[in-house]
Chain A
Amino acid sequence: MATESIAWPVPDAGKPLVEQLHEWVTTVDHKRLGILYIVYALLFLVIGGVEATIMRIQLMRPQNDFVSPQVFNRMFTMHGTTMIFFVAMPLVFGFGNYLIPLMIGARDMAFPRLNAFSFWMTAFGGFLLYFSFVGGDGLYGAGNAPDVGWFAYAPLTSQTFSRGHSTDFWILSLLVSGFGSVGTAINIIATILCMRCPGMTLGRMPLLAWLNLTMAGLVILAVSPLTAAQAMLLIDRYLGAHFFDTQAGGSAVIWMHFFWIFGHPEVYVLVIPAFAFASEIIPVFSRKPIFGYPVMVAATLCIGFIGMSVWAHHMFTVGMGAGANTFFVLSTMAIAVPTGIKIFNWLATMWGGQIHFKAPMLFCAGFLFQFLIAGLTGVMLSVAPFNWQLGNSYFVVAHFHYVIVGGILFTTFGAFYYWFPKMSGRMYNEALGKLHFWLFFIGFHLTFDFMHIPGILGMPRRIYTYEPGRGWELWNVVVTIGAFFQAAAILIFVANLVWSYFKGTLAGSDPWDAWTLEWSTTSPPPSYNFAELPEVKSRRPLWDLKHPEDPDWRYE
């Protein structure tokens, strides 16, 4: 199964730039599409970060007038939409695309052309959203971006309250990228179910494959209602239907249900792949197999299943009645159990190991710490009466950034450093990686720890300015300072990637002494991945190869 002897050809060398670009645009190779997703997501990460920074400067002091209310409202709408749909989702799909075939010993995804189609739909969606800056109000109105918030509650999105086309750009871009997401999800499921190499039973798959399988199932279940709702909203706006048009008897609450039955599973769509990264990185850097593999799989499926029944905890203040509120309290609290199991199993994986604190592991340790807190503030928010106070305040903003930045982005940075040698063939700079970690860690905690406090002191989200004398001033200054630390860390990260791509030391096939199949082929892998398909007998095929005296398959 070893493919060390296959020399990596250098196909790009000598070809004219146009031809190289043409190859990228027309590629159906899962690895290139994965990298396209990732680069695209990084581009939008910077854009979304700039939007966040603008908001933080505006909120640094009360009654500030750095931007107008209209601009501020566009900034938070675009920041939320961008970060979820055009940063987090492409990152998830990018790593999934790149890693899944390699880790299950396949030569490509099940449907390579669907794969390319899905990427370009997603990419087109993002560009369409940003075209609204130019085209939203038409050029005579100098354009504008949507300002309805990323969950776009009705009836603010109706023609009455949202003139011009900015909301249409928002609808269409999510509609289009939604098709891309469903396409990729189908592809991931088909690949994992049908393309595994000989010997790789479902129970021998790397956890990353299990978690991405769950994620893809959730995408199909969650994105479809969103797509349906967008279509209904479009019909409302242009064909005179009244699904969400409250002035004609429509229901604003129905939109909330449609949105959140997408919106909450979406959180798991993003966080389950983050769990997947942690489940691959923590064992390798602790030098132990993942603790309790079957329970980890069961907990993941459990999270996916319960995750479909918790959406209305975003709606505790909507006036649903005591019965419905009580049900969603229970389902939401229940999800803490499988999530807790995961945290304990990661801890047990580290327990008794030899933990190497390289950049990927640093980020995963940060993730464990932050995800613990995010989970606990999540339990607070699941308590409906507490939620009546905390909901829609800066406490919620802090909580979900703890999940998305402290959890998802941290593990994703870990994944960047962990798989960068595989993708580029070169090692990143470890010192810069550690500097990135510490700067980002400090910035993250300055921003999002202190952001809880104004929420507790009554500061609602989505306000472009606030009154002095409410005890919010100091905390907002600290939060803004943290944002600049994070921005600096991101610059170091991007510089590290670019520098290492050209100047890093050669990585070799297996720089981490790891155990899954992607490390058995060259770095970067050839377009066909494996010269001959590997055959596996356990969950850690490379461990078996390196330790013939003590192989895993004796214990599984």
Chain B
Amino acid sequence: MQGGARIALMPGCGLAMSAFAQSASSPTSIFAPQSTPAQSIFDLSLFVLMVTGAIFIVVFSLLVYAVVKFRKRGAEGSEPAQVYGSSQVELAWTVIPILIVVVLFLATARVIAGIQNPVRPTNALEVTVIGHQFWWEYRYPSLKVVTANELHLPVGEPAFLTLLSADTDHSFWVPRLGGKTDLIPNHPNSMWMDPREAGLYLGQCAQYCGTQHAKMLLRVYVQSREDFDRWIRDQSQPASGGQRIFETLSCVNCHTVTGTSAKGRFGPDLTHLMSRETIASGAAPNTPGNLRRWMQDPGVIKPGSKMPAMGLSDPELDALTAYLETLR
């Protein structure tokens, strides 16, 4: 709150300081990097903030001085001395900014090359990220695992993400793990990250993609290698039984449950639905009550969701919820 008072006086510096103070308490701060690319962006940002902060202080002081010193006082006097220009000073405030720009540019070019042209280790984890209206599909091609909305990565190892889109533009942005990169149809992109600490990292879609752009949340679970391997093993199992009711309904047109006739790809893969903490791309916690509400009418939780209300009866909803709860 005291940061707030300072900001009112000195926007340039105050903003930066207050944001730093806040960054500890926000799970999505760009100033709390936890991977190599995010860290190098952060270091460059600090340098840029220092340079721009210094420029601000100099020019702001000149402006304040001019406003205070040269404001008209008292009665109308004669006109001040008419000065038309000065080649020397104008040259000075042309050359100095050019030098500053050169320095900033060189520092920037170096970081761009470091992040965009990395040396790719042979054992790097490959993940294909596919943006959908309004959820995320994750495929681990070499591990034969498909999941949705909750990305799992091993700690301390580089992961290379291939970014695709099934419909409109989206953008993958988990601020503590790296900058954002867009997912554009017909335009495959890539990015990489090597999370330094285990934990849950949050983010969300950063390119307007339609009605529910706001609830296309990102959750990245960074785990120890053992936990990650265990998770992969669990995800590789076929689904448990009891699917009859599911297979007789139109769910199968859009959803996949491995080992059953459900092979749709329009909606999220549900094979291990209960291993996720949230549903609807982070819009609600994954509880039986929420699952039931979601299936009854997705629009209640996420108006504009592409999943229609299927008009299921109460017994059907109960049976389906019970079945989904077995998908561990």
Contacts and interface: CB of A to CB of B under 8 A. Distances in A.
Contacts of A372: 56, 59-60, 63
Interface stretch (A122-130, A352-360, A423-431): A352-360
Nearest to A377: B52
A292 B12 CA distance: 28
Interface in B54-99: 55-56, 59-60, 62-63, 66-67, 70-72, 77, 79-86, 89-90, 93-94, 97-98
Given A336-B101, A470-B26, A471-B22, A385 B182 contact: no
Contacts of A464: 213-214
A389 to B, nearest CB: 4
Given A319-B187, A376-B55, A69 B97 contact: no
B213 A463 contact: yes
A199 interface: no
A379 B48 contact: yes
Contact of B81 (A246, A247, A352): A352
Interface residues of A, number: 102
B315 to A, nearest CB: 31
A453 B185 CA distance: 31
B167 to A, nearest CB: 7
A3 B25 CA distance: 68
A49 interface: no
A492 interface: no
Contact of A286 (B60, B70, B167, B182): B70
B27 interface: yes
A326 B26 CA distance: 31
B26 A392 contact: no
A392 B41 contact: no
B184 to A, nearest CB: 5
Q: Which of B77, B181, B214 has the most CB of A within 10 A?
A: B214
Interface in B168-183: 168-169, 171, 173, 175, 178-182
Contact of B108 (A384, A445, A469): A384
Interface in A49-76: 68-70, 73
Contact of B211 (A69, A380, A389): A69
B248 interface: no
B52 A386 contact: no
A449 B8 contact: yes
A452 B52 CA distance: 15
Interface in A432-469: 445, 449-450, 452-453, 456-467, 469
Interface in A198-223: none
A247 B165 CA distance: 11
Interface stretch (A86-94, A132-140, A341-349): A341-349
Most A-side CB within 10 Å, residue of B11, B41, B44, B79: B11
B214 A466 contact: yes
A288 to B, nearest CB: 6
Interface string B267-286: 00000000000000010000
Contacts of B303: 68-70
B112 interface: yes
B23 interface: yes
A6 interface: no
Given A352-B80, A376-B56, A392 B187 contact: no
A478 interface: yes
A467 B203 CA distance: 11
Interface in A350-379: 350-357, 365, 368-369, 372-373, 376-377, 379
A383 B207 contact: no
Interface in B186-222: 186-187, 189-190, 202-215, 217
A39 interface: no
Given A341-B94, A369-B60, A317 B82 contact: no
A106 B98 CA distance: 40
B72 A354 contact: yes
A385 B84 contact: no
A392 B97 contact: no
B206 A467 contact: no
Contacts of B186: 246, 249-252
Contact of B97 (A289, A321, A336): A336
B279 to A, nearest CB: 15
Contacts of B116: 321-322, 325
B296 to A, nearest CB: 19
Given A379-B104, A385-B40, A389-B45, A291 B72 contact: no
Given A386-B44, A465-B214, A392 B171 contact: yes
A318 B163 CA distance: 11
Nearest to A294: B85
A385 B105 CA distance: 11
A300 to B, nearest CB: 14
B41 A345 contact: no
B97 A388 contact: no
Name, among A250, A347, A457, the residue most crowded by chain B CB atoms within 10 Å (CB to CB).
Answer: A457
B252 interface: no
A457 B23 contact: yes
A167 to B, nearest CB: 13
Nearest to B212: A69
A286 B67 CA distance: 10
A400 interface: no
B128 interface: no
A337 B101 contact: yes
Interface string A269-308: 0000000000000000011110111110000000000000
Interface stretch (A148-156, A407-415, A500-508): A148-156
Interface in B280-309: 282, 303-304
Contacts of A352: 70, 80-81, 83
Contacts of A531: none
Interface string B36-50: 001011001100110
Interface stretch (A16-24, A176-184, A327-335): A327-335
Contacts of A453: 15, 18-19, 22
Nearest to B175: A458
B185 A246 contact: yes
Contact of A389 (B11, B109, B180): B180
Contact of B185 (A247, A333, A470, A556): A247
A385 B108 contact: yes
B29 interface: yes
Given A458-B29, A464-B214, A353 B15 contact: no
Contact of B173 (A246, A322, A353, A460): A460
B84 A460 contact: no
A377 B104 CA distance: 14
9 contacts: A70-B303, A293-B85, A329-B109, A368-B63, A388-B115, A388-B180, A449-B8, A463-B204, A471-B26
The 9 closest A-B pairs by CB, nearest first: A388-B179, A458-B28, A471-B26, A463-B214, A246-B185, A319-B189, A292-B85, A322-B116, A460-B206
Interface of A: 68-70, 73, 147, 149, 153, 155-156, 160-161, 246-247, 249-253, 286-289, 291-295, 317-319, 321-322, 325-326, 329-330, 333-334, 336-337, 340-341, 343-345, 347-348, 350-357, 365, 368-369, 372-373, 376-377, 379-380, 383-393, 445, 449-450, 452-453, 456-467, 469-472, 478, 547, 550, 552, 555-556
Interface of B: 4, 7-8, 11-12, 14-15, 18-19, 22-23, 25-31, 38, 40-41, 44-45, 48-49, 52, 55-56, 59-60, 62-63, 66-67, 70-72, 77, 79-86, 89-90, 93-94, 97-98, 101, 104-105, 108-109, 111-113, 115-117, 133, 163, 167-169, 171, 173, 175, 178-182, 184-187, 189-190, 202-215, 217, 282, 303-304
Given A69-B211, A252-B169, A372-B63, 9 more contacts: A286-B80, A288-B82, A317-B182, A318-B182, A330-B105, A354-B77, A376-B55, A380-B45, A380-B52
